[in-house]
Amino acid sequence: MSAPLTIALDAMGGDHAPDMVIAGADEARERCPNVQFLFFGDEQRIAPLLDRLPGLKAVSSIRHAPQAIGNDAKPSTALRTGRESSMRLAIDAVARGEAACIVSAGNTGALMAMAKFVLKTLPGIDRPAIASFIPTLRGESVMLDLGANIDCDARNLVEFSVMGAVFARTVLGLEEPSIGLLNIGSEELKGHEAIRNAATQLRAMPLPGRFHGFIEGDDIATGTVDVVVTDGFTGNVALKTAEGTAKLFAEFLRQTFRSTAMARMGYLLASRSFRKLRQRTDPRRYNGAMFLGLQGLCVKSHGGTDATGFANAVCVGVDLASHGFNDKIKQELGRIGSSPLPDPKAAAI
């Protein structure tokens, strides 16, 4: 039997921490056997919660952290003053090799700043990116960057493409994932210089997948490609727009089925189908954004999620660690070559 995989958890991160974190870890324990947990946070609050869950307590340890990073803390301030915080100590455990991955539902900016400072980026990667699953008509796709990098050049977009493709192969099990650059049109001359240069480079590179070309916003939901690549500004806006649209239509449905007695009866007759719809579009199912490109694994859970959503984020971290995700990124970059990412200026000539 292989040695247990250790996951470091920021027990004080999230809107409902530490209760949600402890409950989520217990649910993840049932889904992901052979996993141990290191909880970082206020021991006086964590210990009583673990006492109520003997199965989780048996595979867990507590590391007291006197500080917690607030949701409104600036990344620079958190990095400077949060050395004894639950978030920072959990990241330090990954850097020391005590844990294979850190999962936090805390402040996104602070988590990225601390993780990049402590863990550093992988060789050949200039900037890390935030990636997550998105539901599509064909199943699931990967989208990155979702907010870590507001301005990106061609090199960054190429790096994101490589990391996204490796992620799709590792976690989604796709042998040759298709990669698309999100643009304002599918024609080759559309878009700004950086995205056109990135496309030129991707067409000439031996990628861990297949470069599809440019895609537009409506291609995201249809699942035209397996990996959607864009800068952090566009990606974050697209993600929040999709989430808002989903909530809008959910509310429209509720209002419609409450409008008349006949509509309520129709809902009862179709209740089983609507349960399936809710399960497929449940945001908790897709919880767990990954910080790709770091020398240690870091997963960000939505701050307002519940135990089930947090458990999904933990299981994402377990998948990445158990499948050697970072080693596969290194292998792909090595396969592409010692200088895998050409100079964007040269590509433009």
Q: 7 forms bridges with which residues in the sheet?
A: 37, 101
Please state the domain extents for the chain.
1-119, 124-287+324-349
CA distance 285 to 139: 13
Q: Which CATH class is domain 1-119?
A: alpha beta
CA distance 37 to 99: 8
**What are the start-end ranges of the H helices in 134-192?**
154-171
Q: What's the pTM value of the predicted model, to 2 decimals?
A: 0.84
CA distance 266 to 73: 48
How many other C-beta atoms are found inside a 10 Å radius of the C-beta of residue 47?
A: 13
Q: What is the DSSP letter of 134?
A: E
pLDDT by residue (tens digit) across 287-316?
778 899 899 999 999 888 899 999 999 998
Q: pLDDT grade, residue 283 (50/70/90)?
A: low
In sign, the C-alpha dihedral spanning 188, 194, 197, 199 is negative
In sign, the C-alpha dihedral spanning 177, 179, 185, 190 is negative
| Contacts for 191-196: CB closer than 8 Å, 24+ residues apart | 193/154, 193/348, 194/152, 194/153, 194/154, 194/157, 194/344, 195/154, 195/157
**What is the token pair recorded at 206?**
């031996």
Cβ proximity of 39 and 20 under 8 Å: no
pLDDT by residue (tens digit) across 65-120?
999 999 889 999 999 999 999 999 999 999 999 999 999 999 988 999 999 999 99
**What is the token pair recorded at 231?**
């800068």
Question: Does the structure show a pLDDT above 50 at 349?
Answer: no
**What are the start-end ranges of the H helices in the chain?**
19-31, 43-51, 54-57, 75-81, 86-95, 108-119, 154-171, 193-204, 218-222, 232-258, 261-269, 271-281, 307-322, 325-336, 344-348
How many other C-beta atoms are found inside a 10 Å radius of the C-beta of residue 275?
A: 10
Chain centre distance of CA 57: 27
> CB within 8 A of 33, min separation 6: which ones?
none
Pairing verdict, β 60-64 and 35-41: parallel
Element of type H or E holding 140 = strand 139-144
Same topology between domain 1-119 and domain 124-287+324-349: yes
What pLDDT, on a 0 to 100 scale, did the predictor assign at position 199?
Answer: 93
Of 139-153, 232-246, 253-267, the least confident: 253-267
Task: Tell me the CATH number for domain 124-287+324-349.
Answer: 3.40.718.10
pLDDT: is 209 or 95 the higher one?
A: 95
How many other C-beta atoms are found inside a 10 Å radius of the C-beta of residue 153?
A: 17
Question: Does the structure show a pLDDT above 70 at 29?
Answer: yes
In sign, the C-alpha dihedral spanning 100, 102, 103, 108 is negative
Question: Does the structure show a pLDDT above 70 at 263?
Answer: yes
The alpha carbons of the chain give a radius of gyration, in whole angstroms, of 21
Measured between its terminal Cα atoms, the distance across the chain in Å is: 55
